[in-house]
Each structure stands twice: as structure tokens, then as C-alpha cells.
A and B are shown apart, each in its own frame.
Chain A
Amino acid sequence: MMDKSRSEIIPGVWLDYRRAVFLEKESTLCIADLHLGYAWAHRFHGQMMPVHALDRLTERMLELCGFYQPRTFAVLGDIVHKAVPVAEVEREFTEVVTRLGEKCGLKLILGNHDKGLKKLDCSRQVEFCDSWEAGRFLLLHGNESRKSKGDSIVVMGHEHPTISLGDGVKSGRFPCFLISEEVIILPAFSDWAAGSNVRWYDFMSPLAKSARFEKAVAILGQKLLPVSLQKP
């Protein structure tokens, strides 16, 4: 019986219900859209978001690290929600970088929310990049306009894809992966991210707009569910 919590969607590419993609040959684990310090970034600007630990972000990342033991752990952008000089935000960032860095190599790819992140105190001696090539894959955030290079399969975040599924009575929204021949989009790792319904096909990035997504893989609890997408 197939283990439905993980799925090898194309040879060497594993989707994991914990909102991660594992590139087997390249021993690279990918997650996207952490939005660290979400509530604190809001509070800094006067919006009283609750600051309870909703996401056990670091624990979830360490669990994935322990399971796959990848050589590289890549975060595909929007590492922080906003690079504000707030102690809690910097502390969260440092914690992630330190504890993960102990276990595997880190690749921190910058996204549009990470403007100014390099300048914060916590970023001293931390390396960032705008994109990274891992074998036949090109890892990036997905906000910039660029064409894919040659045969590389783009792995990105940025769109926060979710899909609505219902039983005729009521529908719910579930985070999902989007799969096409050239582009793989990850769901947001952070629970704070409000997603957009992929059935509407209203993408932000040129890369996503030009791809033909035939399939979404929804995450229902601890299981993965492939859903075919039919363009209207």
C-alpha cells in the first residue's frame, strides 16, 4: 500500500505532507515562505496580532531534517515577513539559522519580503543568495520576472497555493503543491500565509503564469491527495 503522506511525483522528486519537497539525487530539501516574525512585524507597526506560538516552525524544520538528513536545506524565500529591527524577529531568525545550520548546509534564498534582511544584526555572517542551481533544478523564490533557463525545472514558492475541496455540503481550503513539466510550486510553510485558490489561476509571478499546471497535490491532514486541474 502506497504511503500516502509522501509521494514521488516525478522520479527523484518527493512531495512531503509537511510542506516540503525533497530532491533525492541532489540531497536537497526545500521549503518556502517562512514569514518568520509575522506577528511581530505587524505589532511593530501598531497592529495587534496575537503572538502566541502558532507555528512550531523550528521543530517542524528539524523534524524534516532528521527524516531526510539532506546535505542542503533550502528556504525558497520570504524567510521573514518583514525585516524590522525587533528583538523577537531577530531571535527567531537566529534560532532557525543556528539550529538548522548544525544539522545541514543552509541555502537561504531571498524573497520579496526579505528586503532589508541582510542589514539586520542577526544577518551578520549569514550567507544569502538570489537563486541556486541544484542539479537539473533551479531554486528561487519566484517573484522576479525571468524565463527558465534551458531544461532546468524551477522549484519556487511565493504564490502560497491552496485549493478548495468539498463534499457537496461544504468546502475547505487546503495548502497544495502545483506541478507542471517546468515548474513546481510549494505551499507556504507558514500557517500565517493566506493562500490563494489555485482554481482561479490568478498567479502573481510571470513564471507561474506561463506554466501549464495540470495537477495540484493537496495536503489533507497527514495525507497527500492529487487533484487534477482543468483550465476553464
Chain B
Amino acid sequence: MPLLNPSPVTEWFSRKFAEPTPAQVEAWPRIEAGKNVLIISPTGTGKTFAAFLSVLNQLAIEEADGALKPGIHAIYISPLRALSYDLEKNLAEPLREIYGGTSPIRVGLRSGDTSSYARQQQFLSPPHILLTTPESLSILLSQTRWLPALSTVRWIIVDEVHSLAENKRGSHLTVSLERLELLAACGVQRIGLSATVAPVDQVAKFLVGAARNCEILDVSAAKKIDMRVYSPLSRNPYPPSGYTGERLIKELARLVGENRTTLIFSNTRSGAEAATYWLHSALPELSGQIECHHASLDRDVRQDVEDRLKRGELRAVVCSTSLELGIDIGSVDLVVMLSTPKGVSKALQRTGRAGHNIKSISRGLLMATNMNDLVECAATVLLARSRQLDEIRIPQAPLDVLAQHLASMGCIRAWKKTEALELVRRTYPYRNLSEADFEAVLEYLAGGGKSLKQQYTETFGKINLEEDSFETRQGRVQRDLLQNIGVIPNEGMVAVKLKGRTIGSVEEIFVRGLQIGDVFIIAGRPVRLERTGMMECFVARAYNAVPTVPRWNANKMPLTNKVAEAIVTFRSELRERFEKFGSECEQQVDWIGKRLDCGRTNADIICRMYAAQAEVSEIPTADFLLVEELLDQPEETTRELQATAVPEERKRKTKKAPQFPRGQRHYFFHSLVGRAANEALSRAIALRLSRLRGGNAIATPDDYGFVLTVRPEQVFTEKELPELLKAEGFAEDLHTALSRSDLLKYHFRNAAQTGMMVYRNFFGEQKSVRKLQWSSEVIFNVLQQYEPDHVLLREARRDAVHTYIDLENALNFLEKLKGKSIRLKRIERVPPLSFALFATKIKEALLVEDPREMTERLYHLWWSKLE
């Protein structure tokens, strides 16, 4: 093989494989030349060996020359332990075949699960190749005794870079990598493995640091993708929503029957559970080969599913995002996505899981579950075909992660402030970190600022902060710190135990709502609650019972802007055609079918939907803002809402269709800017309304707009809309609305844990999660009042906005609105485009009322009920 210097490894490869894959051909010479490389390609393109063969080769050559030094030479980091397990097996194979039983080149795996015996062995005899997670790497870097073994590192390989880049775990990793570079005796080479992602140059910088070079190898075109849309909708423009629509399940069952292995993605864990359950019912003869997989299931349960999938023993797996990443799952014939994956990149990544070798075509099917879904899926597929990817957003300078790193850096020695700041600034996320922010974090770690130091004899910080240097306090502080390294927050979950074995966990709130004897679904099968403990509940298998599905508080993935833009354009075009040629569907179906490339049946449904919209209201376009005003909840809509309820829920008397108290009015704002921007708009506008009229307004956003639900006395007119929608002062109003929100409290809780204000294990006591737990809400209130600029509060705001709220696009939208008209239209029934919003169960009431007023109002409300 001319690409690499000959060694036992190259010999082995030539024997095993006919030829290298395109990814390997591109990667090896560059890696040999010592360059940093980012390899972008889907599963099954030989990424692992593209990265590793070069490394193995070099080690084998040195070993043969007797020049292989002790210590760690290569570190592989992945966000999932399962990936490391897979890799360990994949590396063991060549080593065993080349060297026999005891290979002189050692591979070691280190994660939270590694036994203390194994850890000790690793310390005494460090593996040449270490496979690990971001957290474990950080822990090693913070212990003095590990530094010598780490100083020999020459290669860093980071897997699933695209998934790490867009969250704080990735930011955390970049600082660890800089700390590693500083330790390394000679230069460190970085190799990144990523799925399809954009923008590539930012992701490359994320991998190698703000100022270093990186070669980008994009071989994703090498694998062919065939993506289509399926809609089980009937002719009715108000179809049942949710995955239990009978036709959808029938079709899904048919697909599972026709393919050897089908991988089915749901956007939520609840959806995955529900779909698994329904598939079991639809295909009882295959139910032993249909499994569920998501993050709240126990690791052993997941491992079992992954192993069986790999061995080809399963016909279908229904998962949430858990199988998106590149764990080896054997060969999958078809990927089905239930409902839009909310992003072009995601759709491509998921489809890429199908077809396990480079020659096969990856088949992906998007199944639309309602009207809006259908149009979205069609738009997504069109964009995917032309490779117009949505862009990930890399967090900028998360301060809680910084606090954790500075404190753990201080464990090994004292640092000059300038040295630490320079190190951190070499990473991409922290490249623009201001000195003021850096100082603020150090002050926080030291106990909280000069004013505090003056008041109290001892502030008990985590670090000793001098004029120009810092070091972490010895003893318990360091020990506790090392046990709490990481970014993944501790949520209020209760373990579910079946026959003594933990199968997964569910949210505490869910368990609290259950009674003994209630049946719910976990791992796709119904179980009955037998008793509850402090942090666990005990269940038994339940057959022939009507179950509920737990609703995990999973991330809501907002629609990406590209897809939203595509849909706005489509709507404007369709409206024009309706106005020119009439809304008779016979004439429009052809055009729609071609425009969206979605087939006649789908085009017909879409046409009817938009025709109904035009009849009941009008089609919103980019030229104006449509606001629909609906008084109360008409009878028809109630019936339609009941039809959207899960069929089994209808049988249970306790579950009701969503209802709103009478006399309310609903305003549908058709701002098609994606959920994240609508989160911003709805919160600020609800606040403005409450200022104008008093009281609360419930604001429910989704990708297509938001609904403001108000009481009769809060009704407003078309004249007042511009005031509500003005761009001036918007950011401030959003800030105020956010400061009273649950969202911010949730993110603060995470920031408080990551930033080490509180430990996950409170005083080592785990008696009761609820009772002895520090109250993050209380801390939050204290800080809001006395230290509103506290670094962790600022981080919570940054995080909440970064992840869920798109201030920028909301402002853009409002700016553009200045030149357009805003129309308030009275409607008698809920039109199709607003229906999805209306039917969504309101889980988060976005409360913007002053909390003191709320207390007063509650008091009067309840007291008047008594008298």
C-alpha cells in the first residue's frame, strides 16, 4: 500500500480488505504528513480505519524497531461509551491477528464504568491507545500522577465531532484538549470524525483551536442517499395527529415486514415508546424482534438491543435520538423518521445510518403525521437533495464550563492568570473570552468577590486567588471536584425496577401522578406499578392493560431556518396561484406535486389543506403578518380535538381532550420563523400584552407561529398590534420575560451543577431527591436579587437563549415587519394552519405576570371558592 509505510499492519490490511475506501485514501497521506484532519462522512465509509490505521501503523513500526516508548500515544474521545466499546473490539481484531494473544500495542478503555482494578492497571501500565470520554479525560488531566503518561500523547482522535460541537460538552472538551497539548512533549495531531454538518470551517476550528490549520475531507457524497416522504393522511384536512394514527402504524408494520431490519426514529422518548408498543400490537408474531431504545432506558437494556441489532436478530428498533450517533448497529435496510426530524442535517445523518457499506444506497423515509408535517417533510427532502444544510451553533464561552476547568486545572499546580487565560483562548469557543469574564469566574471560584472578602473572615472559596495566580484548595475540595466533573446534569429521575433489575428511569413527576396498579409503557412494553420507593419504583409485566406513556421532558428541537424559509416561499407561491387560477384542486395538484416532489396523493392533501385555509381565513405569506382571532372554543373544534387524542386515551375516563376555560380568546400569530424565534416573540409579546392589559397571557409557540390565549378583559384590537410588535425595546422585554420563566430556572440548575456551585450528590446524602436537595429555585432568587450579574446566572441566560431562543431572527422578523401590513382577522373555526398549534397540549404556560400579583390573585380565586 503506497499510502503508508509498510509494517505488519499494512500487511494485515491488504489481506483483509480489497482496497481502501475513499475516506481512507484521502485521510492517510495527510495524517502521515502530520496535518490536522476533519473527516466528514456517514456511517459505513471506513472512518475508523481512516483515522486509526495510520496510528496503528506508526506504532507497529516503532514496536518493530524496539522504539515504542511507554506511555499513552493516542487518545480517542467519543461522546458515547458504546462507541468506545465498539472501537475496542474493532482494534482488538487486527492486533490479535497480527500479534496473537498478547499484543505489544495495548488498547485501554476508560469511562465512568471502568472498575477500580482496571484503573489501577491502566495507571501502572498505561495503554498506548486510550479510548475514553470527555469527562474521563478531564479527570485524568486533573491528577498529577497521570501527567507523565499523558505527556507522550501524539494523536488525538475525536469522534462524532458534529454532535459535540453544538453543546457544552464539546466546549468542555476543547479546553481539555488544550490542557493536553500543553502537557505533550512534542506536537499533538488532531483527527476529527464527523457526520454531515455545516458550517464545516467552524466545526474544523472547534476541533483544532482558533488559530491552527485543519484539512477538511468531505467524502459524504461518496454514499448515495435515497430520501422520500410518505403520508398516511386521508382526504380529511384534519387528520388524527400523533403516531398512533392507524394508517401510519399499518404502513410502518408493512415496511417492517418487508425489510430485514428497519430503524425507526422518533423525536421524543414518549413517541419511541408509543410506536414500539403499537408495532407490537400490529405485528404480534414479530414482537420479540421489535425493541425500543432511548436514553432513559438502562444501559444494559440498551446494550442488549444494540448487540442484537448488530447480530441481525432484530427486525425493527424504535429509538429517539439515541441511535443517531455512529454506534455499530449492523446493517439496516431502511431508516424511517416519524415526523420531520427538524433539520436537513439531522435527516441526512439519520438516513446515513442505513446501508452499512460504501456501495449500498442509504434509504430514508420521512413519515408525516399531520398537515404541517407533510409540507415540512417535503421541504426537508428537497433541501437534503440539494445539500442545503442547516448550520449548527457552537456555544460561545460558557462560563460554567470555564469555572469547572479552572478549578480542575488548579488541582495539579498553581497557574499564572495570564497563562490560564491564554490557554483557554486558544480554543474556538473561548477565543473571544474577555478578561473581565475570566476574572469574574475566578472571583466566583475564590468565594465571590472583594465585597464579600471585606465582610467575612473566610469566604471558603474553591481556589486560593492571588494577585496574578490561583491554585485549588487541597483536600476535600479537590476530591469532591474530581467526583463531580462533567456537564451532564442530574435530573429528577426515578429508576424503574422489574424483577430486581433496573430497566430505565422515568421522571419523578410522572411517577407522582400514578397510582398503584396503573400501567405505563417502558422499553415498549406495558408494566404495572406495584410500589414506590424513595428514588425508585417497582413494576411487574402487565398484559392486556390500557397503558399511558410517560412524557419525558425531552428537548424540543426547533425547526431550522432553512426549512422555515422554504415553506414561506412555497406558501407565497401557492397563494399567488390560488389568486390567479382559483383554488380548485384539480388544477393545482400537478403544480404542487412537481414543486414539492411529493406525489399526487400528498399534493392533493396539501392542496385541500390550503384551500380550506383560504376559505376559513387566508393563506399567510411573507408579505404581511396574519393574526387570527378566535373567540372561545367552538363545538366543532372540541370534537376535532377529541379525535386527535390517542385512541386508547379516549377509552380511559381520566384522560380528557385538551380544553380551555370558557370565554377565552385565542390569537394565532403566523410568524413562520421557527420555534426558537417564536419562543422569543411569544414571550416578549405576552409580556407586552400583560403590561397593556394586566393579568397573564398563555403564549404557546411552535415552528409556525404562536398562540396567545387571553381572558376577555385582555382582548386587543388591530390598532394595538404594531405596539405589541415593535422592534424597539424587544431585547429588554425578552430579558424580563425570561427572568420570570421556568426555562431560565432549568438552565440555572444545570449551570449551578456544572459550575460547581452545588454538587450532584448533596453532602453525600441521597436520602431523598426532593427533600434534602438544595433548592435551585431559592438560590436562583437570591442571585437574581443580590447578584444579577453572577457568572452562573449569565451562563444560564446564555444557555437558554442559545439552545431554545433565537433572539436574532426574532428581531430580524420584527424589523422586516416595519414595511409590511399586519392583519387581524376574526375567524369562526380553527383553520388548518393554526390547528396544530391549537391542539398542542399546553405544557408550559409562559407566565409573565408579576409573581406577587399572582399570589394575590390566587388567594382571591381560592378564597372565593370557599365562601
Binding site for B on A (CB under 8 A): 40, 42-52, 54, 82, 86-88, 160, 165-170, 172, 174, 191-194, 196, 200, 202, 204, 220-221, 223, 225-227, 232
Contacts and interface: CB of A to CB of B under 8 A. Distances in A.
A225 B758 contact: no
Contacts of B460: 40, 43-44, 46, 86
Contacts of A200: 512
Interface string B646-661: 0000000000000001
Contact of A52 (B782, B847, B856): B782
A221 B448 contact: no
B786 A47 contact: no
A194 B770 contact: yes
21 contacts: A42-B774, A44-B460, A46-B460, A46-B476, A47-B774, A48-B448, A48-B461, A49-B779, A50-B790, A51-B452, A165-B862, A166-B858, A170-B854, A194-B771, A194-B772, A194-B773, A194-B775, A194-B777, A204-B771, A220-B856, A220-B858
Contacts of A167: 857-858, 861
Contacts of B770: 194, 196, 202
Which range holds the interface residue count of chain B?
A: 35 or more
A192 B779 CA distance: 8
A49 B480 contact: no
Nearest to B446: A48
B457 A87 contact: yes
A90 B167 CA distance: 43
Contact of B456 (A88, A160, A227, A232): A88
Contacts of A42: 758, 774
B778 A191 contact: yes
A50 B847 contact: no
B515 interface: yes
A52 B847 CA distance: 27
A88 B460 CA distance: 11
B859 A48 contact: no
- Count chain A CB atoms within 10 A of each CB in B460, B774, B785 and give the residue with the most: B460
Given A48-B444, A86-B460, 18 more contacts: A43-B447, A46-B460, A47-B757, A47-B758, A47-B774, A48-B447, A48-B461, A49-B757, A50-B782, A51-B448, A88-B456, A167-B857, A172-B854, A194-B775, A200-B512, A225-B862, A225-B863, A232-B515
Nearest to A169: B845
A221 B856 contact: yes
Q: Which 3 A-B pairs have the closest CB atoms?
A: A194-B775, A43-B460, A52-B786
A45 B480 contact: yes
Contact of A46 (B480, B768, B777, B845): B480
B477 A225 contact: no
A194 B452 CA distance: 25
Nearest to B773: A194
B611 interface: no
Interface in B764-808: 768, 770-775, 777-779, 782-783, 785-787, 790
A81 to B, nearest CB: 10
A200 B447 CA distance: 38
Contacts of A40: 460
- Count chain B CB atoms within 10 A of each CB in A169, A174, A196, A225 and give the residue with the most: A169
Nearest to A226: B866
B481 interface: yes
Nearest to B695: A169
Contacts of A223: 859
A195 B785 CA distance: 21
A196 B771 CA distance: 6
Contact of A169 (B459, B515, B698, B790): B698
Given A47-B758, A225-B863, A169 B696 contact: yes
B693 to A, nearest CB: 15
A41 B462 CA distance: 14
Interface in B737-783: 756-759, 763, 768, 770-775, 777-779, 782-783
Nearest to A158: B771
B236 interface: no
A170 B845 CA distance: 6
B787 A50 contact: yes
A49 B757 CA distance: 6
Interface in B831-867: 845, 847, 851-852, 854-859, 861-863, 866
B366 interface: no
Nearest to B698: A169
A54 B782 contact: yes
Contacts of B459: 43, 51
Given A40-B460, A169-B698, A46 B771 contact: no
A182 to B, nearest CB: 23
A46 B774 contact: no
Given A45-B476, A192-B775, A225-B863, A87 B845 contact: no
Contacts of B845: 169-170
A200 B513 CA distance: 9
B65 interface: no
A204 B768 CA distance: 9
B458 interface: yes
- Count chain A CB atoms within 10 A of each CB in B473, B759, B852 and give the residue with the most: B759
B559 interface: no
A50 B858 contact: no
Nearest to B776: A194
Contacts of B447: 43, 48
Given A160-B771, A169-B696, A196-B770, A51 B456 contact: yes
B4 to A, nearest CB: 50
B445 interface: yes
A48 B445 contact: yes
Contacts of B777: 194
- Count chain B CB atoms within 10 A of each CB in A40, A170, A226 and give the residue with the most: A170
A196 B772 CA distance: 9
Contacts of B456: 51, 87-88
A48 B515 CA distance: 39
Contacts of B779: 49-50
Contacts of B775: 192-194
Contacts of A202: 770
Nearest to B477: A46
Nearest to B771: A196
Nearest to B758: A47
Contacts of A48: 444-445, 447-448, 461-462, 756-757
Interface in B458-508: 458-462, 473, 476-477, 480-481
Contacts of B771: 160, 194, 196, 204
Nearest to A221: B855
Given A46-B462, A50-B782, A160-B771, A170 B847 contact: yes
A191 B775 CA distance: 10
A91 B866 CA distance: 46
Contacts of B481: 46
A45 B477 CA distance: 7
A74 to B, nearest CB: 23
Nearest to A53: B786
A45 B458 contact: no
Nearest to A46: B477
B661 A168 contact: yes
Contacts of B790: 50
A223 B857 CA distance: 12
A131 B778 CA distance: 30
Contacts of A47: 756-759, 774
A174 to B, nearest CB: 8
Contacts of A194: 770-775, 777-778
Contacts of A44: 460
A192 B866 CA distance: 31
A220 B851 CA distance: 11
A204 to B, nearest CB: 7
A97 to B, nearest CB: 20
A86 B458 contact: yes
A52 B781 CA distance: 11
Contacts of B462: 46, 48
A174 B856 CA distance: 12
